């Protein structure tokens, strides 16, 4: 499975040696697209799977995609809140990258633990045999680490997601067809006049082009200062989160600002922040949109909120590491190159 035609420059921190030291900058490589009948590896890089019946449901979902599920050997192991020890989970993931019969890899679920795998992964082997990895939430750590090492992945539904038609079609367009979709903020259609129309929240208008880098805000901010976070230079940063109070969103965005990351980006797309309200409620704190407006409105870069990125039912699949164009006034994000070859 060649990588010819899938090369493009990424200003990254460079490949990370097994000892964790960065080396020279790398080129992005794109994995082969998925095809009907391909084998899809199923891994659990983070939280454990409750029982074998959950695995049977995931396998049924994969078969409905037209793919053949291959379950990692230790998928039902449990080590505290993790799906086995770090070494076991890393071995399962690397075995999928090394298996010539496996075409792509899908994470079962999030939780916590993906970042613990990063020192145990052989990124040189992964670059030699690039395969489409997909997942979101805690799997953001793997998507970002792959991007830092020059491999494109997909921030999209985990295998255990409900996979409504909109999510499946979005994934299929990116992972199977290799098309260039334009993502738009959904139109509101509530019962009242004020509840209809666009749901775009534009913090600062304008257009920008850049490489898509992002994922879950909590996980991304925790990688600041490590060699596994790709460069933000002229990137389009996309973010999402769940179950975080407004002040914690503020704290993490402030960390990104203080690190200098936000000064480097070309623009920001904030997807959905599901259940991101202080349980005290009322007027005791900033609203989420005030927090985002304060941080992005004065950034001097195009920024908007509203795409279906994150912990939502009709979640879209967004490639990590490829070029895209955003329009903050229209609330759109358009891919400029395919994520697969």
Domain spans of the chain, in order of start = 8-163, 182-335
Residue 8: per-residue pLDDT: 36
Closest CA to 159 of 273, 35, 71: 71
Residue 197: per-residue pLDDT: 57
pLDDT digits (tens, 9 = 90+) for 168-225: 999 999 999 999 999 999 887 666 666 555 689 999 999 999 999 999 999 999 999 9
Topology adopted by domain 8-163: Rossmann fold (3.40.50)
Helix (H) or strand (E) holding 332: strand 332-335
**Looking at domain 182-335, does it have CATH number 3.50.30.60?**
yes
Residue 193: per-residue pLDDT: 63
Residue 278: per-residue pLDDT: 79
Residue 277: per-residue pLDDT: 86
**Catalytic residue list:** 137, 240, 311
DSSP alpha helix (H) spans, the chain: 52-64, 86-98, 114-117, 123-128, 140-148, 165-172, 217-222, 246-259, 261-264, 288-297
Tokens read off for 298: 């004065």
Note the pTM of the prediction, 2 decimals.
Answer: 0.90
- The residues of the chain scoring below 50 in pLDDT are 1-25
Residue 195: per-residue pLDDT: 56
- Exposure of 39 by Cβ count < 10 A (0-12 exposed, 13-18 middle, 19+ buried)? middle
- The answer to whether 305 and 271 are in contact (CB under 8 A) is yes
Residue 187: per-residue pLDDT: 83
Residue 196: per-residue pLDDT: 55
């Amino acid at each position: 499975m060649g990588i010819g035609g899938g090369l493009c420059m990424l200003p990254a921190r460079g490949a990370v040696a097994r000892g964790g030291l960065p080396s020279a900058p790398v080129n992005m490589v794109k994995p082969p697209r998925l095809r009907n009948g391909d084998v899809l590896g199923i891994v659990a890089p983070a939280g454990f799977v409750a029982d074998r019946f959950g695995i049977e449901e995931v396998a049924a979902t994969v078969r409905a995609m037209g793919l053949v599920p291959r379950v990692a050997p230790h998928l039902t192991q449990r080590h505290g809140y993790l799906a086995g020890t770090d070494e076991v989970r890393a071995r399962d993931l690397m075995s999928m990258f090394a298996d010539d019969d496996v075409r792509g890899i899908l994470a079962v679920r999030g939780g916590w633990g993906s970042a613990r795998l990063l020192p145990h992964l052989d990124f040189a082997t992964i670059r030699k045999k690039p395969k489409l990895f997909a997942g979101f939430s805690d799997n953001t750590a793997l998507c970002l680490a792959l991007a830092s090492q020059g491999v494109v992945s997909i921030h999209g539904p985990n295998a255990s997601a409900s996979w409504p038609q909109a999510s499946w079609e979005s994934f299929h367009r990116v992972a199977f067809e290799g098309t260039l979709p334009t993502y738009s903020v959904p139109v509101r259609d509530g019962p009242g006049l004020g509840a209809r129309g666009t749901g775009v929240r534009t913090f600062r208008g304008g257009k920008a082009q850049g490489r898509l880098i992002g994922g879950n805000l909590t996980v991304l901010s925790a990688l600041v200062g490590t060699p596994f976070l790709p460069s933000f230079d002229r990137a389009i940063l996309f973010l999402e989160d769940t179950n975080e109070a407004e002040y914690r969103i503020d704290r993490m965005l402030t960390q990104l600002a203080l690190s200098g990351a936000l000064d480097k980006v070309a623009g920001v797309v904030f997807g959905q922040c599901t259940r991101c309200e202080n349980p005290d409620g009322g007027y005791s704190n900033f609203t989420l949109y005030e927090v985002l407006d304060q941080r992005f409105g004065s950034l001097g870069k195009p920024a908007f909120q509203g795409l279906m990125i994150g912990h939502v039912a009709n979640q879209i699949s967004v490639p990590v590491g490829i070029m895209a164009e955003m329009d903050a006034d229209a609330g759109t994000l358009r891919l400029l190159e395919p994520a697969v070859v």
